[in-house]
Amino acid sequence: MKHRLIVTRRLPEAVEERIKREFDAWLPDQDKPMDGKELLERAEGASALLVTPTERIDADLIARLPQSVRVVATFSVGYDHIDVQAAKALGIAVAHTPGVLTNATAEIALLLILGAARRAHEGEKIMRDASWTGWTPTQLLGCELGGKRLGILGMGRIGQAVADRARAFGLSIFYSNRHRLPPDLEKGATFYPDPETMLMQIDILSLNAPSTPETWHFLNERRISLMKAGAIVVNTGRGGLIDDDALIAALKSGRIAAAGLDVFENEPKVHPGYRELPNTFLLPHLGSATVETRNAMGMMALDNILAVLRGLAPPNGL
Query: pTM for the whole thing?
Result: 0.93
Which CATH entry fits the domain spanning 102-282: 3.40.50.720, 3.40.50.2000, 3.30.360.10, 3.30.365.10? 3.40.50.720
User: What average pLDDT does this structure show over 278-283?
Assistant: 98
User: What average pLDDT does this structure show over 134-142?
Assistant: 97
Identify the bridge partners of residue 256 per DSSP, sorted by sequence position: 231
95-112 confidence digits (pLDDT tens): 999 999 999 999 999 999
Torsion, Cα of 61, 64, 68, 71 (10° steps): 20
Asked whether residue 318 carries a pLDDT value surpassing 90, the answer given is no
Q: Which CATH class is domain 4-100+291-309?
A: alpha beta
**CA–CA dist 185, 181 (Å, integer):** 6
Cβ pair 145, 171 in contact under 8 A: yes
Instruction: Enumerate the CATH 3.40.50.720 domain ranges in the chain, comma separated.
Output: 4-100+291-309, 102-282
206, burial (CB in 10 Å: exposed 0-12, middle 13-18, buried 19+)? buried
Active-site residue, from 96, 119, 238, 294: 238
Active-site residue, from 149, 165, 167, 285: 285
Active-site residue, from 16, 22, 221, 267: 267
267 is a catalytic site residue: yes
238 is a catalytic site residue: yes
Say what angle helices 102-117 and 157-167 make with each other, to 10 degrees. 50
Query: CA gyration radius for the chain?
Result: 21
User: Confidence class of residue 94 from pLDDT cuts 50, 70 and 90?
Assistant: very high
Say what angle helices 291-309 and 13-22 make with each other, to 10 degrees. 20
Q: What is the DSSP string of 205-241?
A: EEE-PPP-TTTTT-B-HHHHHHSPTTEEEEE-S-GGG
Tell me what the pLDDT averaged over the chain comes to.
97
64 is a catalytic site residue: no
169-185 confidence digits (pLDDT tens): 999 999 999 999 999 99
Residue type, 91: G
